[in-house]
Structure 1
Amino acid sequence: MTPVSTITANEMVAAPIQTGYWTRSRKVGVGLVAAGVLAAVVFGALATSQTARFTLSEDAQGAALAIDGTVGAILFGLIAAAAGAAMFTDRWFPWLLGVGIVCFVLSFLCWQISDAPAGQNFMPLVNIVRGTFLLAVPLIFGALAGVLCERSGVVNVAIEGQLLMGAFAGALVGTMAGNVWVGLVAAALGGAFISLLLAVFTIRYLVDQVVMGIVLNLLALGLTGFLYERLMQTNQAKYNQPPHFGNWEIPLLKDIPVLGPALFRSNLFLYLALILVLVIHIALFRTRWGLRTRSVGEHPTAADTLGVRVLGLRYRNVLLAGVVAGIGGASYTLLLYSFTKNMIGGKGFIALAALIFGRWSPTGALLAALFFGFADQLGVYLGAINSIIPSQFLAMLPYLATILAVAGLVGRVRAPAADGKPYIKG
């Protein structure tokens, strides 16, 4: 009798999983080809022969990248389609997807810019990049707060409340102390206060983490609204005229084209956000603390067996997340504005979406926040040139991209295994 062949467990693990012809890369490639062809045909037909200019300096008449509107719309659409076709090789998926999305956007912009009224047929790249970073700053802080919590196994839906409490505390204490740095410390403590409540009720008393996050958002909204009406609204000069941080210029780097004026002639909050992304990324993936944090977020029982204090680590990381989010809230009141009721306006939930879109990593959260910031800034720009595209339509694009990400069309998204699951020490 012919012996039956056997497969060892190691061979089974090593064997590739057959996914058939229609892999994720090829499915997305088909969609990108369709989008590119649609852009070339539709945007190319709607664009005019007027030159579309992308200025490289703050001077509208300075150096610029220029292309015929119709030619640009068709050309970039075809490049996007070519990037989609190249995905059928099942190689370089992230790069080809990035090229395809960028070229699709450029095709759209060639139409919009060439169709703009005379004298407005240019896009000031410096202002676009500066606005993108400025609008992304609170999202970066909020998303990093989510990373710190959820990598530890605690769902942080309370980012909105942490940002709002940070903005309020920064404005109130900063005004009363007459010192912007004191206001910054107060903002950090305000965010930590919301995080402390989150930690106590979800870690100690095992309250549902999502429900608790929503309750804390409502608490922050009600508390800050009440104190705003009782204190700030009745005496703005005493309680709601906070000092503001100015811009800090970095020599040499500020002279880099486009990025220099936008990134290196900026404010403390942007610099701090970028530094925190780097620090948290290194700490999370290159240090003992990071290893323990990730182990607690994935398998707390195993971590506990190895001597990691699971509950203590979760307490510390949730409080640290509140500090980070509180500072992000201060970027509203200690940079540009005074405090107003519900001034965060849902940005905490957008930060939560950026966290998911960025796959629970600091660098991914940064890129997702910048994407959201760019969408907002693009809406502002198109409104300024009286575009026929409603700004409300543009505002929904980041959410659509998040849905696609969560659906797995641009990469599998998986939260830490123990995220949202309370841990009861045996």
Structure 2
Amino acid sequence: MTTPVVPVTAGTPVDDVPADGAVLGKISYRIPITYAVLAVFALLGLVGTLIRREGVWSQTTEFQSRYGDQWFTIPNFSVPSLLTVIVLTVLVISAAGYAYLVTAARRTVPVWLHIVVGLAFVLAFLTWAGAGKTSVIPVTSLLAGALALSVPLIFGAMSGIVCERSGVINIAIEGQLLFGAFAAAVVASLATQPYLGLVAAPIAGAMVGGLLAWFAVKYQVNQIIIGVVLNTLVLGLTSFFFSTLLADNRETWNARQPLGVIEIPLLSQIPIIGPVLFRQSILVYLMYAAVIILQIMLFRSRWGLRTRAVGEHPKAADTVGIQVNKRRVWNTILGGAIAGLGGAFFTVGSGLAFGREMSAGNGFIALAAMILGKWNPTGALIAALLFGFSKNLGNVLGTIGSPMPSQLLAMLPYVITIFAVAGLVGRVRAPASNGVPYTK
């Protein structure tokens, strides 16, 4: 059978018309442009400012990798600041050119190129920030802090995926995190056992998820509005109890009950990645398990297939016997429990007492990570780690005395997140029936 010839209309680029006459889609140069912007920033912002310093050719940047006990110690090492930044900038420029050629040839930019560009730019930025400083750049500490700051974001993003893949918008992640933190602190204090607080946290989050499901599914209230209302409700309740019950008797109701650190034998001794990944509390290991299990269940199980069907085309799912609203209710409660578990990180997971508004907007950042990850557990994990890394990067740079103003350091994680969403992801498509109530 011959391929039908599609006529070329006015305005169709000649390059987009192959020999068989079929018109191809428009080429998107979003990724090469993003690389080019990073290259320009590195050239003008990093190399340009360094080269104007007096005695810059003799300045070095020192990096440190030691962090606790390891199999062997990697000594601190120094690199020539200006030369290193120039080499890494040239690498980013070359990657931008290669990405342009790949995109122009209608091929997908490989994942390894994203990794190379990201590492090169981050290393160039760290080298620039530490140039001529007496302080060292603590590489392992930077990564460990980034993972810690990412934990509630990852749990929140997983919660959003479970709910929104089922067709329910979960704006209440912020409230679920906060209520989970509150329940974990109170129960752990009363029982003087942090692991009981870890059990109470997902129950508290599930309660908020149950309210969301009740109003959104049964009464078909606008899901964004009810999510905002639940956030306000939880904030008001926790603030009230914090100012009265918890403040009156902190030792009984709001004492610090930290989870212990669990070291994985052998793995925790690996330099750099060992202390970061395998010297953590049980909550972090539960986070690893949650991401892996959800990734497998969502795309390799009957539950996942039915969940995605409910979120994409509930009417078709109903015709084959899937109980749409029942599944939405239970998945929303499950999502709330996952977010509540993430809230425990703020209290028992960090060894802190409960504080007013201590979730600090992490629920909304988790939503951004979910969208940046395209409603995929692995993608959301990477997005949350990106935000956590950028936030801890600002903290580390402030400690070593970075030339960047403190206001810019505070803005850094949000700027990087916006840049990543606009430059690397662009337009994304949510589940087709997300936020749409279903009536049988």
> TM-score under structure 2 normalisation?
0.88
Q: Aligned with 1:66: secondary structure?
A: strand
Q: What is the letter of the counterpart of residue 96 of structure 1?
A: L
Q: What is the letter of the counterpart of residue 198 of structure 2?
A: L
**Would the alpha carbon gap of residues 378 and 404 (structure 1) be closer, same or farther in structure 2, given more than 3 Å must change?**
closer
1:377 to 392, 396, 402: 392
1:99 to 116, 127, 152: 116
1:361 to 349, 366, 376: 376
Q: Which runs of 5+ in 2 are unaligned?
A: 7-20
Partner of 2:260: 246
1:102 shift after superposition: 2.4
Q: Confirm whether residue 63 of structure 1 aligns to residue 72 of structure 2.
A: no
Q: What is the letter of the counterpart of residue 363 of structure 1?
A: T
Q: What is the letter of the counterpart of residue 29 of structure 2?
A: T
After superposition, residues 26-425 of structure 1 pair within 5 angstroms as: 26-39=32-45, 41-45=47-51, 48=56, 49-58=58-67, 62-89=74-101, 90=103, 91-116=108-133, 118=134, 120=135, 122-335=136-349, 336-407=351-422, 409-425=424-440
Q: What is the letter of the counterpart of residue 61 of structure 2?
A: A
1:15 shift after superposition: 5.3
Contact 1:32–1:83 at 8 Å: present in 2 too? no
Q: What is the letter of the counterpart of residue 316 of structure 1?
A: W
1:110 shift after superposition: 0.9
What is the CA RMSD across the aligned residues, in angstroms? 2.4
Once residues 308 and 140 of structure 1 are traced to their aligned partners in structure 2, the CA distance between those partners, rounded to angstroms, is: 29
Q: Aligned with 1:354: secondary structure?
A: helix
Contact 2:194–2:257 at 8 Å: present in 1 too? yes
- Further displaced range: 82-91 or 144-153: 82-91
1:52 shift after superposition: 1.4
Partner of 2:24: 17
Q: Which runs of 5+ in 1 are unaligned?
A: 8-13
Once residues 108 and 405 of structure 1 are traced to their aligned partners in structure 2, the CA distance between those partners, rounded to angstroms, is: 17
Contact 1:168–1:224 at 8 Å: present in 2 too? yes
Q: What is the letter of the counterpart of residue 130 of structure 2?
A: I
1:51 shift after superposition: 2.0
Contact 1:84–1:96 at 8 Å: present in 2 too? no
> TM-score under structure 1 normalisation?
0.91
Contact 1:81–1:100 at 8 Å: present in 2 too? no
Cα-to-partner distance string for 1:233-281 (whole Å, 9 max, x where unaligned)? 0100111114221100000101111010122111111111111100000
Partner of 1:10: none
**Would the alpha carbon gap of residues 227 and 388 (structure 1) be closer, same or farther in structure 2, given more than 3 Å must change?**
same
Cα-to-partner distance string for 1:15-42 (whole Å, 9 max, x where unaligned)? 563315x633443344344334335632
Once residues 65 and 396 of structure 2 are traced to their aligned partners in structure 1, the CA distance between those partners, rounded to angstroms, is: 16
1:222 shift after superposition: 0.2
Partner of 1:11: none
Q: What is the letter of the counterpart of residue 437 of structure 2?
A: P
Contact 2:299–2:305 at 8 Å: present in 1 too? yes
Cα-to-partner distance string for 1:146-196 (whole Å, 9 max, x where unaligned)? 111111111111111000000111111111122222211211111111111
Q: What is the letter of the counterpart of residue 112 of structure 1?
A: A
1:127 shift after superposition: 0.7
**Would the alpha carbon gap of residues 43 and 286 (structure 1) be closer, same or farther in structure 2, given more than 3 Å must change?**
farther
Q: Aligned with 1:114: secondary structure?
A: coil
Say how many residue pairs are matched. 413
